Structure 1
Amino acid sequence: MSRPRPEGLRVAFRADASIEIGTGHVMRCLTLADALIREGATCLFICRAMPGDLRKAIAQRGHATRPLPAAEALPAQDASGPAHAHWLGVTWTQDARETRAAIGPTPVDWLVVDHYALDGRWEEALRPSCRHLMVIDDLADRTHACDLLLDQNTGRRAQDYAAFLPIDTPVLAGPRYALLRPEFAALRAESLTRRRQPRLGRLLVTMGGIDKDNVTERVLDALDACPLPRDLEITVVLGPQAPWRAQVEARAARMCNATHVRVGVADMARLMTDSDLAIGAAGSTSWERCALGLPSIVLVLAENQRSIAESLHQQEASVAVSSGGEAAACIEHHLQDDTLVPFLQRLSRGGAAIADGEGAARVVRGMVQHG
């Protein structure tokens, strides 16, 4: 059988977003789907109905969606399953059955699964519904039965999956495969050029699309207690499903520094390019900041972000802190010691060396090559 060309691929994605899961899994799948569409593929998203899901956003991006029914009750705990099995809301067998039905009788060329709750058992069950199966993972903590695996995290090596994959399964490892929208590569040169002579005029605060624990407000509290330059402007970014939006907007209105809250940002690359420093979660947005050389102070909001934060800190691509208070103290320290310029330059260089914004194109090439 001849290898399918990019313009002939039919690709299905199985990923969820919710208040608990966050938005990162679906968002990076959307980036890959957009890249595939540009090459002539057709894409379908299969997502379970959950509070805080992104089915409307997926449809607005022009992709077909087939929802899985909302879970009626949590399944019994599966002691042999993944650590995040409860994220699924149903048993893996039910999810596999419903996903097969959503795909329909004709197998897709690729099924891409990005879900910590699913492992090799589910993947084997979906084999009749796809010609090839790709897993997007960050954890290297469970077995997989796939044809291609992507882990875009810094410090990740193919060997980390040796115990979890068939011996001949290719692994795309590291931030050179980070799934970023094309505007990040397009603005990279401009962003890096403006950081040669840095200043602190615009501070960006972004704690992920959901921020279920309202870390954003605690960061603003800490910044308001910090002697920041009076002309510093703060921009806060929230996702459309963020549950604490009203509280954050109220806190922003009381800030000493001018503080703007933006919801559902469509031009994040431009916003990051025009910012001088970011305080953000150590999630998938880390690679966006790196590609643009945006100096960053990062907080760990979920356990799967810890290794990212530590690795970026070790490579001087960002500063890892444990609270908004530590983030504010870091800024205050460099303001008082007059070390702000070399501090920002060092973080910018470190970040820019990690990701270049071309990862999605590399992944598409990998899918075609291995398909």
Structure 2
Amino acid sequence: MTGRDLIIIASSNSQIGGGHLSRQLVLADEALRRGWEVSLIGHMRAHEMTLLRGRGIEYFAVSDHRSLAEHLIAIQSISQKIRNGILVIDNYELLEPFTQMRDELGLPQVHFEDGGGFENLADVIVNSGLSNSENFEIANIPSERCSFSIVGPQAAMIRSDLKTIKKARRLISDNPHDLLGYVNFGLSNKRKLLNIIFSQLESLNNFGWTVVEGIPDSNLKRVCRSEGGGKRATVPMKRVMLSADFAIGGGGLSAYERAYVGIPSVTVVLSDNQRGIAKILQQAGAAITLDTRWTTESDLLAGALEQLGDPEIRAQMSQAGKTAVDGLGAGRVMNQIERL
């Protein structure tokens, strides 16, 4: 390896979802574009490893995303070949132990956190679940905590293909009986939640919803029409996002992606670390937020979906999302990394 090197720790599986790996691949692409060498340490399944093809990323596999020992072995192997390494940690289980080993490792650290606060010491902290105004003033963060922080939508990592989709999206339909929507919770196994959502969609007889259900482990989605006998077909996700009038999904990275391309959304909070992003997007007017405990109450979910049947509300939410998320997060993070 030559020049500067980025060592990224991130994994992807059904337990932790795919958001950590997804945003780190965006960061890796930006680093590679700037001439950096990139190594990735993590645990992923075979089909997820196809995401690394052709990217120029050196991959070091571990058997358990929580194993500090395995990650340290990989770091030691990489460190023997580099002189100017930066360690990027996008793994909640390992933030604290790597903080404690900061001096021993001798590598500047960039931490990706979500929600809560700045729990650990790092040179750069990236937290997409915090907003400047509500949680802290950047100027008041003690210098010993971090050199720089990037928070909220400014920290959102947006894939390059979504930038193409944003430009190509058609005008929002003003016909409430001809709406295209999709339901997608990524790699998370949310079968019970999906069944509740589908039952609510089917109960809205005055709407002709088309629903796209996210299938874990696949880049294809299944289309289900609530009218017309439940016809199903498979379509590429990119095609759905080009024409979707609404979406229902989790409050992680995908929530920022939907806002960026201008898709009005019902954001379902699946875990505590998603509450920050969901709140930020709701306050921006880009999404309607529901807690998972609410999904068993038909009137709340149905009410949110009926709001999306109003073309004026959808248009306002679409513009609010595009205004809130500019898609430049990876560049901001790399700018700070290059200052270390």
Matching of residue 216 in structure 1 with residue 210 in structure 2: no
| Equivalent residue number for residue 32 of structure 2 | 37
How far did 1:113 drift?
0.5
Normalised to the residue count of structure 2, the TM-score between the two structures is 0.81
| Equivalent residue number for residue 16 of structure 2 | 21
Query: CA, structure 1 residues 135+238, in 2 after alignment: closer, same or farther (shift >3 Å)?
Result: same
| Equivalent residue number for residue 239 of structure 1 | 216
| Equivalent residue number for residue 66 of structure 1 | 60
User: Which of 271, 275, 288 is the aligned partner of 1:319?
Assistant: 288
Cα displacement string for residues 85-143 of structure 1 (whole angstroms, at most 9, x for unaligned residues): xx72x4x4x35533433424234521110011123432342555564221111134564
| Equivalent residue number for residue 81 of structure 1 | none
Cα contact 2:128–2:277 (8 A) shared by 1: no
Cα displacement string for residues 26-80 of structure 1 (whole angstroms, at most 9, x for unaligned residues): 111111111212222221110136x799444334655221112x35xxxxxxxxx
Residues 330-369 of structure 1 mapped to structure 2, 5 A cutoff: 330-332=304-306, 335=309, 340-368=310-338
CA distance in 2, matches of 1:25, 1:298: 18
Cα contact 1:206–1:281 (8 A) shared by 2: yes
User: Which of 171, 176, 186 is the aligned partner of 1:194?
Assistant: 171
How far did 1:190 drift?
4.0
| Equivalent residue number for residue 145 of structure 1 | 121
CA distance in 2, matches of 1:278, 1:165: 41
Cα displacement string for residues 163-193 of structure 1 (whole angstroms, at most 9, x for unaligned residues): 79724521012212310012333443443x7
Matching of residue 155 in structure 1 with residue 124 in structure 2: no
Query: CA, structure 1 residues 345+155, in 2 after alignment: closer, same or farther (shift >3 Å)?
Result: same
Cα contact 1:144–1:165 (8 A) shared by 2: no
| Equivalent residue number for residue 125 of structure 1 | 101
Cα displacement string for residues 146-165 of structure 1 (whole angstroms, at most 9, x for unaligned residues): 21111123525683787797
SS at match of 1:239: coil
Cα contact 1:210–1:238 (8 A) shared by 2: no
Query: CA, structure 1 residues 55+188, in 2 after alignment: closer, same or farther (shift >3 Å)?
Result: closer
Matching of residue 48 in structure 1 with residue 43 in structure 2: yes
CA distance in 1, matches of 2:162, 2:213: 19
How far did 1:11 drift?
1.0
Cα contact 2:115–2:129 (8 A) shared by 1: no
Query: CA, structure 1 residues 196+156, in 2 after alignment: closer, same or farther (shift >3 Å)?
Result: farther
CA distance in 1, matches of 2:14, 2:281: 26
Query: CA, structure 1 residues 205+125, in 2 after alignment: closer, same or farther (shift >3 Å)?
Result: same
CA distance in 2, matches of 1:12, 1:66: 10
CA distance in 2, matches of 1:31, 1:254: 35
SS at match of 2:136: helix
CA distance in 1, matches of 2:146, 2:16: 31
Cα displacement string for residues 235-283 of structure 1 (whole angstroms, at most 9, x for unaligned residues): 22333179xx9xx96x948874544455xx6x64x53231111111111
CA distance in 2, matches of 1:215, 1:312: 22
| Equivalent residue number for residue 283 of structure 1 | 252
Cα contact 1:235–1:259 (8 A) shared by 2: no
Instruction: Give the stretch that moved more between structures: 308-317 or 347-356.
Output: 308-317
For 1:215, the aligned partner's letter is L
CA RMSD of aligned residues (A): 3.5
Query: CA, structure 1 residues 334+172, in 2 after alignment: closer, same or farther (shift >3 Å)?
Result: closer
CA distance in 2, matches of 1:228, 1:206: 23
Unaligned runs of 5+ in 1: 1-6, 72-86
For 1:121, the aligned partner's letter is P
Cα contact 1:185–1:358 (8 A) shared by 2: no
Cα contact 2:173–2:311 (8 A) shared by 1: no
| Equivalent residue number for residue 101 of structure 1 | 76
| Equivalent residue number for residue 240 of structure 2 | 271
For 2:283, the aligned partner's letter is Q
Unaligned runs of 5+ in 2: none
User: How many residues are aligned here?
Assistant: 329
Query: CA, structure 1 residues 328+60, in 2 after alignment: closer, same or farther (shift >3 Å)?
Result: farther
SS at match of 2:286: coil
How far did 1:196 drift?
8.8
